[in-house]
A and B are shown apart, each in its own frame.
Chain A
């Protein structure tokens, strides 16, 4: 009996060992977090690696996603490639393009998806959110990390690529504040990193300004920003950033002054354009608030004289703006003011 029990014990022990080994192999961290085991290297390549390598490029599902099917109907550079394989999602295809360094193809594919014909379904807010998060993860975040690695030329290039893509969709008029903020963040980052030599010469200051944009102008950074040394290279950026703080706290005249100071810079056309647009916004809202107040206090006719002066000032801003979408926005303000005068 003792021997029998011994035999049973040994077999149970061996079986338990066997099952434990199988369980351990399934739970093994090497299975689920293989990518994490690779040492960190370069932020841009890390981002590509993180997002791209996990995609199933040999997608064996039944059909491609609806976005892929929609894009296939259009004409663009990488059309043949997209038609040759099934892709789980369009982003999967875009990541593949990025991994292969075919950025122009990636840009073209993204453009053909985003720029829809009027008959098609509009680019919904959640699709815009995905689009924005794609740009943030693939371009903007690595730009910030490149900045920390003193790769100022690369950071500029990434910011420009991000802005080039984000301009495909005008989210400035979106009803979703997060989309608007994300859109502005990309454009501001581009303006901030436009001059790599300024970034090289003032790494600390540019780092602070970048963090402020990244935190969506969190008030905790305001003190740090105010203390920044007024260097001729940094002054326009600092003024713009302070202007945004004032604009957000609805102190429009002060914001207007800051934006005026920021628009004097000629080496940075992106910042200049943004500053001129913000000036136009400040002027419009100052005028609009005056009109609303005078209406509220019983005035029947808005202050036409002031309104005319504002329209004139807005028209004076127009020639300095190069970006079409900004010019359109200023034109819209002018027409709105004219309509309210009529």
Chain B
């Protein structure tokens, strides 16, 4: 048993010597260096854990034997002369003199160690909290909830104003703020355009872009949903094309007046009176002669593609998936 204890003590002291000797300059491995840093920082905790572990690990019989040996030689003053007691007190004072002198220093060292511990754990905790906030912010941003992400990023700046890594967080804040700001601007512009001209490609694209940049905005999502439903008009292009091919002027004229904005871009309808029924009828065969060479499918697909409805639907689905089915 004595050998074992001796070996253990020798092992611990050797390990401490090695750890003390391995300074960061000597260690090439960053991970090992960090492990050593950790051991150095946590040496008191490791010591306490070792003592508690040893106390628990020692067999009970051994414990009672050690206790018995310590208490067996404890001096008793039963039946001793008074002088002996006096001498004992003198010896005790002499023996305890050096420790008593050292006690304030030990207390000071102990307090320093305690404060070091506290600041270390506080820094660690703060750092973890900062990381946690950043991670939460990233998760919210990834989930499309820019407002929540902004809240977390701003908390970091608020709690850790002097952190040198804050430029990174500030960049994220600027990015998300830009996103929200431009989402609002685009939606506003889209609404104003639509108010003036009615639903057009440009206003529709701006509205969907507003949703894409701020996908959790319920109002914009509903607006986009309404527009997509209105634009999911499968028959009109084919009807117009067939009317054009079969020279059905009245029908073609009517469709053009009602759905000219849907079938063609503004460039194709500008200045030829589309949308102003009967006042200024368009010479359809002349103005739209370019569609004569197309097939019905080609015309239909061109109209559909020009609205980018597939992509708009994907944006809407993506936005809905971020807020859940009830959003």
Contact = CB atoms under 8 A, between A and B. Distances in A.
Interface of A: 1-4, 7-8, 15, 18, 21-22, 25, 28, 30-31, 34, 37-42, 44-45, 49, 53-54, 56-58, 60, 99-101, 149-154, 156-157, 196-198, 200-203, 231, 233
Contacts of A57: 174, 178
B311 interface: yes
Contact of A41 (B52, B135, B312): B312
A4 B49 contact: yes
17 contacts: A4-B52, A34-B142, A38-B212, A39-B318, A41-B209, A44-B205, A54-B175, A56-B174, A60-B170, A149-B308, A150-B305, A150-B306, A152-B265, A153-B267, A154-B201, A200-B268, A201-B291
Contacts of A53: 175, 178-179, 182
A42 B311 contact: yes
Interface SS, B side: helix
B139 interface: yes
B205 A45 contact: yes
B315 A39 contact: yes
B265 A154 contact: yes
Contacts of B134: 25
Contacts of A58: 174
Contacts of A31: 138
Given A3-B57, A42-B209, A201 B174 contact: no
Contacts of B308: 41-42, 149
Interface string B291-307: 11110001001110110
B306 A151 contact: yes
B185 interface: yes
Nearest to B127: A22
B248 interface: no
Contact of B131 (A2, A22, A101, A197): A22
A42 B171 contact: no
Contacts of A40: 311, 314
Contacts of B182: 53, 99
Nearest to A6: B53
A4 B53 contact: yes
A3 B53 contact: yes
A317 to B, nearest CB: 31
B50 interface: yes
B57 A2 contact: yes
Contacts of B178: 53, 57
Given A39-B311, A42-B311, 14 more contacts: A7-B53, A22-B131, A25-B135, A31-B138, A41-B315, A53-B182, A101-B189, A150-B306, A151-B306, A152-B267, A153-B268, A196-B268, A200-B291, A201-B289
Given A41-B212, A41-B315, A156 B138 contact: no
Given A151-B306, A200-B290, A42 B208 contact: yes
Contact of B290 (A1, A18, A153, A198): A198
Interface in B203-230: 205-206, 208-209, 212-213
Nearest to A5: B53
A197 to B, nearest CB: 4
B56 interface: yes
A18 B314 contact: no
Counting chain A CB atoms within 10 Å of each CB, which of B138, B167, B290 scores highest?
A: B290
B178 to A, nearest CB: 6
A99 B167 CA distance: 24
